[in-house]
Amino acid sequence: MSLSFEGRVVLVTGAGGGLGREYALAFAERGASVIVNDLGADTKGGGKSSAAADKVVEEIRAKGGKAVANYDSVEDGEKLIQTALDAFGRIGVYKPSMEILRPLVLIPVTTDLRNDHKMIRVHLRGSFLVTRAAWNHMKNQKFGRIIMTASAAGIYGNFGQANYSAAKLGLLGLANTLAIEGRKYNIHCNTIAPVAGSRLTETVMPPDLVASLKPEYVAPLVLWLCHEQCQENGGLFEVLKLSLYLRWERTQGYIVRQKNQSMKPESIRDHWEKICDFTDATKPANIQAAAAASAGLGSGIDPVSKIILGQKLPPTTFSFNHTQCILYALGVGMSTKDPDHLRFLYEGHPDFSCLPTFGVIPSQAAMMDGGLSSVPGLNIDFTQVLHGEQYLELYKPLPTSGKLTSEATIADVLDKGSGAVILLDVNTYSGNELVCYNQFSVFVVGAGGFGGKRSSEKAKVSFLSKQFLFPLWSQAALYRLSGDWNPLHIDPSFAAMGGFKAPILHGLCSFGFAARHVLKQFADNDPSRFKAIKVRFVKPVMPGQSLQTEMWKEGNRVHIQCKVKETDAVVLAGAYVDLHGASGASPENLSQGGGLQSELVFAEIGRRIKDVGSELVKKVNAVFGWEITKDGKKAAQWTIDLKSGSGSLHKGPYGGKADVTMTVSDEDFMEVVQGKLNPQKAFFSGKLKVRGNIMLSQKLEVILKDYAKL
């Protein structure tokens, strides 16, 4: 279907000849009502005549088109727009195309520029004034298309055209800002830098070249950019015999600033080749991306996240005994006043256990003990580092003593604009056995704006039933004895450097409070029922404030929110704790005497995931939900997560949205697993129902067929 401009009103300045005339004729031919503006000046901006505009109007009308002439200077922008409103009632497209050329060679520094102010006035100020006059009309009608005419001289520079080049590149800056400001009003602004034969170019180009560059080669691009179907906005195009899209490109650069060293020009000289190397160049599309040099690099985040991504931090070891377990329990508010707490506070208790959230303690050394600061290209000011979110998952109950080894990897780096987020995955082992997995989300204030992505598939996804209240006075001083020695939590002067009035409570202390509240309310303080916890840290807790935990349960997931009672400010949000079922639904504790045969299969799947979960995550990369029915009713739900960490299995629905969910009876499930029932036949017969990405169900064969043998 051909592009029509029926019902559109188009203003073309400089339309008495050359490119402007070609645009006016082309728009009119496709149904537009055209205002043909031309002052009738010569190529140097002198003189005035109505003949040029009148002639083009006559051409349009002779072909049955609609057009009126306007002879005002573009510096009288309101008059041009008023002509459109008087003649056609609206304005929809503005295409400046006026051209004057005054060669200027800057040799003596005393060159008088006063005679060339007209160059800036006509090209830059004139375009601004006409656009300003049309802007509110375009906003009110929720439609507008603006094409600015720059020049190769403005983009690349040209000998003897300093004034003309400055004006033309100024138009590009104007257009880029109009594109941003007009986007929400459906006003699009693009820039073209045409090279075509005209009375202007014939003064600086050979005649045969002028003849070969016809104005009609440029008009098709202009018409497309002005059409309502075109969504291009903020683009820059060169136009000769073909149309070319231009964009900015930037080198990866070199981090000159080094820790505890001043910046010197010799460092620039010594790394000049690297600074100017366009290998793997970036292409910033906006001012936020372009600000990386001052924001991202200056704050220690290299704009090339590939340098940081996947970096493995030095392994850390953590040796502990019952003393550290008890000290941690005290640090998160446990007390001998509550008899249920004794199993976490007295090593002689018959059920002496370690609190599940103690799992963050051995892994935090990856951050605290020089881990992040050892990564090349990552020069972090730790007074600007905040703990954003935390995820912890246990694969077995934590021992009460021993030696644990943690291995950390930078999983991703995100650009949040005002800062950067570093996702740090930490696996903690007892010997060769994986005990727990942590994901730390570290927010570095002021390190954003380097053009990176804002979200990550690797991030762990982030109501009132019961409340727990606990007053906090010296809790930070006590909790730090578990190993988080950051002076932000004890030293008033250091806290002041971070912008706090007083030392603040550790986020992971609040994290521990919330987890033990859930454990008490919904798991009878049984640490073996704890599976995983995820929280987002929102605001700090100050000395003397009281921490209040609010909870409600949905299946085996307990949603939690922590507030400061005195201010009602939320300090932990988007948080949940996943529990193993009370009837021993943990994969290790499933009873073979249960009512569902499928529980035995899922128990075997759980054991296999613990053994080779990382390998399965690489192969499968999906979350599967299972709904097992018995006698036509839903009897159990399972989630097989082979997308996060080292994989996991839990009884209950997935907290987010599973990639694929299957519903099947307990009997048919066993038939499929034992190879007695073909899965495809089960699906087509209605015995197996599938929701979501059905193709992913094929990957289940690697789990069910190979790993779930009874």
Name 537's bridge partners.
Answer: 572
Cβ atoms within 10 Å of 369's Cβ, excluding its own: 15
> Strand (E) positions, 55-186?
66-70, 93-95, 144-149
Angle, helices 507-523 vs 322-331, to 10°: value is 90
At 613, list the tokens: 């979960």
Which entry of 23, 94, 164, 217 is annotated as an active-site residue?
A: 164
Cα separation, 370 vs 172, in Å, equals: 47
Cα separation, 238 vs 379, in Å, equals: 41
Look at residues 405, 431, 400, 425 and name the one whose alpha carbon lies nearest to residue 413: 425
Say if CB 189 and CB 234 are below 8 A apart. Answer: yes
Question: Which residues does 181 contact at the CB level (< 8 Å), separation at least 6?
Answer: 187
Say if CB 371 and CB 365 are below 8 A apart. Answer: yes
Annotation says 391 is catalytic: no
Determine the 3-state secondary structure of 601 from DSSP.
helix
Total residue length of the chain: 710
Owner of token pair 């691009």:
221
At 58, list the tokens: 């006559």
Question: Which residues does 131 contact at the CB level (< 8 Å), separation at least 6?
Answer: 77, 94, 146, 174, 178
> Strand (E) positions, 268-368?
316-320
Say if CB 535 and CB 572 are below 8 A apart. Answer: yes
Say if CB 255 and CB 379 are below 8 A apart. Answer: yes
Active site residues: 164
